[in-house]
A = this chain, B = another copy of it.
Amino acid sequence: MPKGAKELLKKLEYDFENIEYLDIALTHSSFVNEHISKTNNVSNERFEFLGDAVLDLIIGEYFFRSDESLREGKLSKLRSEVVNEQSLAKVSNELKLGSFIKFGKGELKSGGNQRESILADALEALIGAIYLDSDLETITKIVLKLFENILKEAESKKNFTDYKSRLQENLQQYNKNVVEYVLDKEEGPDNNKLFYSSVKVDGEVVGCGSGKTKKKSEQIAAKRALLKLGEKNV
């Protein structure tokens, strides 16, 4: 078992049946390249391939189940906000994976244990290793816990800002494309203004809204338009 890995397993709340899987997940190819004489050294690249597919399914299914009204394009976008190098490296850092990975001397010298891409790949490899060692249900629970904050963040962005784009997507479905936002009026003093906007689709007003910024009033108008169009979970 890699040095200090006990702490890692405790954080993951997982015990490996095949502990060599953990070893492989934490072996960077630079280490294998420097030790080619020992033929049983295997790098984590194959596990990363597997883990990548496992992670895509877990996060994709999470958003799929989270909201029935989310269409395909939005699901892809939400997933890519969670499954990307930066987010993966962040989770990897929280687990301190960089300190457990076996590197070649050259790679370590050049700071490989802090490189985002390497940290992200190692997390995918670890996910692949746990999946291989257990099953989809087990790794799903672990992944959803590890990504809890990142998932929440992606969802809150979705809820907060997305009525306008959701309306646009929704209308494309009906082959209606000309969406126009009109600022109807502004009220109040400069430091406490209220904006009133309406949204027109093919020239017809389908929603009105007010808010403390122009953008907010448009969002509310889009939300009302979505309700009018019968979209659930608005």
Contacts and interface: CB of A to CB of B under 8 A. Distances in A.
Total copies of this chain within the assembly:
2
Interface residues of A, number: 28
Interface string A132-154: 00011000000000000000000
Given A33-B175, A173-B32, A174-B36, A50 B61 contact: yes
Nearest to A121: B72
B46 A57 contact: no
A53 to B, nearest CB: 4
A12 interface: no
A49 B32 contact: no
A158 to B, nearest CB: 15
Nearest to A135: B136
Interface in A48-79: 48-50, 53-54, 56-57, 60-61, 64, 70-72, 75-76
**Which of A33, A72, A174, A230 has the most chain B CB atoms inside 10 A of its CB?**
A72
A8 to B, nearest CB: 23
Contacts of A48: 72
A110 interface: no
Interface string A35-52: 010010000011011100
6 contacts: A32-B173, A33-B173, A46-B70, A49-B75, A53-B53, A54-B57
A61 B53 contact: yes
A56 B39 CA distance: 30
Nearest to A128: B64
A72 B124 CA distance: 13
A42 to B, nearest CB: 8
Given A49-B72, A49-B75, 12 more contacts: A33-B173, A33-B174, A36-B174, A46-B70, A46-B75, A49-B64, A49-B76, A53-B56, A56-B56, A56-B57, A57-B57, A136-B136
